[in-house]
Amino acid sequence: MYKIAVIPGDGIGKEVMEATLHVLEAVDVEFDYTFADAGDEYMEKTGVALPQETVEIVKASQACLFGAAGESAADVIVKLRQELELYANIRPAKSYPGTKCLFDNVDFVIVRENTEGLYIGLEEESEEGATALRVTTRKAAERICKYAFEYAKKTGRKKVTAVHKANVLKKTDGLFRETFYQVAKDYPDMELDDRYVDATAMFFITRPEMFDVIVTTNLFGDILSDEAAGLAGGLGLAPSANVGEKIGLFEPVHGSAPDHAGKGTANPSAMILSAVLMLDYLEENDAARKLENALVEVLAEGKAVTGDLGGNASTMEMAVEVRKKLEE
C-alpha cells in the first residue's frame, strides 16, 4: 500500500481531484491517502498559504497528488519544490483521439530544470530600472541532464534534445550545453542533439515529430511546455510531475481556474493523466497503462466528455465513464 499525500487546493483543483480519486478506486493498486491543506482558501482562514504540517505530510508520503492553487501558487508550489528538492519538472505532450490537438503525431516529453535560472527570484530595483540574476550551476545542469537521459532510457525513448540559447547567453547556457554533451557520453546508444529555444518554438508547430525527450532550463521549459500543451489539445489535457530524489508531486497544469470553479464543468483529464505519471513513478506501469487507455477510450468515443472536448458531461460524469472503462 502506497502512502499518498492529497492536496486538493483551490477552485477546480478540488473537483478534478475528487474525480481522479474516484477513478483510482478502480485501479488494482492500494493507496493510503492523507489529505492536507494549501492554497488561497486556507490562506484566507489562517494567513498562511502552505502550512508546515502539509509539508511534513508530503515528506512522510511516497508521492503527492496536488490539485491547484490560485493566487498563492508561487507560495505553495515553489516552496514545495524547494522544501522537497523537486528538481525535475516532467511535462508530457501527447496527441489523444477526440481532442483538439493540432497534430495527431505529437508525443514528446519536456524535462525542465526546476531550481535555478531566472526563477530563483533574485531581483533588485534601481533608479534606472530593475535587474534579475540568472543562475546556472554545473551540479544542477548535470543532474537534470542525467535525469533526462535516464528517463528516456527507462521509458524506451530514443532521442534527447537539449534546448538553450547559448549563442546569446554564452556563459549560463554555454555551461548547460557543455554539461549536456558531457553527460551524454555515458549514454552512447542514445540519439542526441541541441537546438536554440526560438528555433524549437518554431519546430513545435512545424515538425513536432522530430522531438522525443527535451531537456532545458527553468524559464525556457515553462514557456515551451505551455506551447506543447497547446499542440496537444490545451491545458485540460496537460499533466505534470515534479520529481526529486525522495518523492514526486503530480499536478495538472491548468491551475485553479476560478471562473469555472463550482460549476462541475472542469475537464478531469489532466489530473487523471497526472495520476498516470504517479503510477509510473511508483513503477506500477501496468496500472498506469490501463488507466491511460481507459481515458483514451472515453476521449475517442466523445460521448461522456466535458464541454471543452465537445461534449456536455460534467467532471464527475466523465470520471464515472473512465472508471467504467477501467473496470471493464
In this prediction, residues 137-166 reach a mean pLDDT of: 97
| Position 135 pLDDT exceeds 90 | yes
| Position 173 pLDDT exceeds 90 | yes
Residues 6 or more apart whose Cβ sits within 8 Å of residue 310 = 98, 302
pTM (predicted TM-score)? 0.94
Residues 6 or more apart whose Cβ sits within 8 Å of residue 87 = 81, 113, 114, 115, 140, 143, 144, 147, 243, 244
Residue 319: which of 5, 15, 1 has the closest Cα? 15
| Position 100 pLDDT exceeds 90 | no
In this prediction, residues 259-282 reach a mean pLDDT of: 94
Dihedral sign for Cα 68, 28, 325, 209, please. Answer: positive
Where along the chain do its domains lie?
1-87+234-328, 102-231
CB 267 within 8 A of CB 15: no
Residue 164: which of 123, 132, 136 has the closest Cα? 136
86 confidence band (pLDDT: 50, 70, 90): very high
260 confidence band (pLDDT: 50, 70, 90): confident
Report the interhelical angle of 285-301 vs 315-327 (nearest 10°): 120
Residues 6 or more apart whose Cβ sits within 8 Å of residue 285 = 279
102-231 is a CATH 3.40.190.10 domain: no
Q: Say which residue, 63 or 104, is predicted with more confidence.
A: 63
Residue 277: which of 93, 36, 1 has the closest Cα? 93
In this prediction, residue 138 carries a pLDDT of 97
In this prediction, residue 246 carries a pLDDT of 92
CATH number of 1-87+234-328: 3.40.718.10
Cα–Cα dist 81/74, whole Å: 10
Cell of 7: 492536496
| Position 261 pLDDT exceeds 90 | no
Grid cell 498563492 is found at 72
140 confidence band (pLDDT: 50, 70, 90): very high
| Position 291 pLDDT exceeds 90 | yes
Average pLDDT, the chain: 95
Which residues are known catalytic residues? 119, 165, 198, 222, 226
In this prediction, residue 322 carries a pLDDT of 98
Cα–Cα dist 157/93, whole Å: 14
Residue 213: which of 285, 88, 111 has the closest Cα? 111
In this prediction, residue 10 carries a pLDDT of 94
In this prediction, residue 60 carries a pLDDT of 96
In this prediction, residue 121 carries a pLDDT of 82
In this prediction, residue 112 carries a pLDDT of 98
In this prediction, residue 255 carries a pLDDT of 85
| Position 259 pLDDT exceeds 90 | no
In this prediction, residue 189 carries a pLDDT of 96
pLDDT above 90 as % of the chain: 88
Residues paired with residue 213 on neighbouring β-strands, in sequence order: 109, 160
DSSP code at position 16: H
DSSP code at position 135: B
Cell of 295: 481515458
Cell of 129: 530600472
pLDDT above 70 as % of the chain: 100
